[in-house]
Amino acid sequence: MWTLVGAGLKTLGQSQRPMSSVLPSNCDWIKESAVKFDPKNNSLTTSSGKQIQYDYLVVAAGLQLNYDQVKGLTEALQSDPQVCSNYDPKYVTKTFPALEAIQSGNAIFTFPNTPVKCGGAAQKIVYLGEEIFRNKGTRDKIDVLYNTSQSVIFGVEKYAATLRNIVQQRHIKVNYRHNLVEVKPDSREAVFQLLDSEKGETTTFSYSFLHAVPPMSAPDEVRSSPLVNADGWVDVHKHTLQHTKFHNVFALGDCTSLPTSKTAAAVASQFGVLKHNLSAVIKGKQSTHSYDGYSSCPLVTGRNKCVLAEFDYDGHPMETFPVDQSKERWSMYQMKAHVMPQLYFHGLLKGIYEGPAMFRKVMHLGMGEKKH
């Protein structure tokens, strides 16, 4: 929802609930963070030094935002009103005023050279920002630049084709393989590493507006534990979500090694599989339910338009509705802006919503979705 907060369409308060209001009543809430994991001895240590033994462990630690890995970025976010980031509650409320304030020059939007949560969010704000400029009458004086470390605009070609047409029609310049490495707030310059350069060359852009997406990783406490693989992600089987070494450990969400987009939609589908497999293991049985890599990205392209991308591990579209979801639709925007937050708070957090598989079967008359 923070994309919509950054575009002035929602408030930060609408995205929040007190933790006490969403936890199950029969859950013991330990109000400390886990700082050390010892899966060989089935224990973890909390921030106060307390050791907790467990029979089974589910790791759902999310991602850590590493703003400090980009030189000068934290300083710029704190000192320059024209530098913002929708990924952090401290900075998301800066975005809309900054979009309103820019009158001319470069409006730069970035995507880092790491896995990120909600990968589409980096470009959703590009489209919403460009629309704001048009509505204000300043678009002809502003160059809209999307500088991404990736080599494609989106990983699934069906939806990428739509997005390439959109950026072309709206004169948004996409600079591929550009990774933000430094921000100079005093001179309002952003330095990008050219990832395809063998000599490690950089290029510098002046900015009048900068939306920065930080590098991300699993939290340090997780990365320093025996739970992770060589790349620093909790190492689970891609289909069962069970740990590859410790049979009584499961994980889901952004901190895992699962090779799919890190989204809430993915978490919902992973949860259904994890629930069944963890229950089976507790009963002494094998994990039999299989996660297919389903993930979804509602690519908001305007204040009333959205491309609803849904896909699996192999990049095959897995569309819920019996329409071509690669087209910009008003209905999909309503789904993103108004239905999905309710699904999150009242479905996913309550353990009721396990992803759209059942809806997909109904929408496609039980025959399975059409392969595109």
- pLDDT-derived band of residue 367, with 50, 70 and 90 as boundaries? low
**Which pLDDT belongs to residue 366?**
55
Per-residue pLDDT of 78-133, as tens digits, reads 999 999 999 999 999 999 999 999 999 999 999 999 999 999 999 999 999 999 99
- pLDDT-derived band of residue 362, with 50, 70 and 90 as boundaries? confident
**Which pLDDT belongs to residue 363?**
85
pLDDT at 261 over 60: yes
Around Cβ 350, how many Cβ atoms within 10 Å? Answer: 11
Task: Please name the residue that has the structure tokens 């989204």.
Answer: 263
C-alpha to C-alpha distance for 285 and 33, rounded to whole angstroms: 31
CA torsion sign for 227, 233, 238, 240 is positive
C-alpha to C-alpha distance for 4 and 120, rounded to whole angstroms: 13
Residues 6+ apart with CB under 8 A from 119: 111, 155, 261, 262, 263, 297
Give me the mean pLDDT over the 10-18 stretch. 96
CA torsion sign for 232, 254, 291, 59 is positive
Share of the chain above pLDDT 90, in %: 95
Around Cβ 287, how many Cβ atoms within 10 Å? Answer: 20
- pLDDT-derived band of residue 221, with 50, 70 and 90 as boundaries? very high
Q: Which amino acid is at 200?
A: G
Output the pTM of the full model.
0.95
What is the chain's mean pLDDT, rounded? 96
From 256, 251, 252, 248, select the one nearest 281 (Cα to Cα).
248
pLDDT at 371 over 70: no
From 279, 240, 210, select the one nearest 56 (Cα to Cα).
279
Q: Which two tokens stand for residue 325?
A: 């979801």
**Which pLDDT belongs to residue 331?**
97
From 192, 188, 163, 190, select the one nearest 175 (Cα to Cα).
192
Q: What are phi and psi of 107, to 5 degrees?
A: -105, 110
From 140, 108, 105, select the one nearest 126 (Cα to Cα).
108
C-alpha to C-alpha distance for 336 and 187, rounded to whole angstroms: 38
Per-residue pLDDT of 277-301, as tens digits, reads 999 999 999 999 999 999 999 999 9
Among 248-252, 285-289, 364-368, the range scoring the smallest mean pLDDT is 364-368
- pLDDT-derived band of residue 370, with 50, 70 and 90 as boundaries? very low
Per-residue pLDDT of 173-189, as tens digits, reads 999 999 999 999 999 99
- The residues pairing with 8 across neighbouring beta strands, listed in sequence order, are none
Strand 43-46 versus strand 34-38 pairing type:
antiparallel
**Which pLDDT belongs to residue 358?**
85
C-alpha to C-alpha distance for 160 and 317, rounded to whole angstroms: 12
CA angle, 372 then 314 then 366, to 5°: 50
Give me the mean pLDDT over the 2-12 stretch. 98
- pLDDT-derived band of residue 361, with 50, 70 and 90 as boundaries? confident
Enzyme catalytic residues = 118, 297
- pLDDT-derived band of residue 276, with 50, 70 and 90 as boundaries? very high
What's 81's DSSP letter? T
Give me the mean pLDDT over the 324-331 stretch. 98
CA 144 to centroid of chain Cα atoms: 22
**Which pLDDT belongs to residue 372?**
36
Give me the mean pLDDT over the 199-212 stretch. 97
Give me the mean pLDDT over the 334-342 stretch. 95
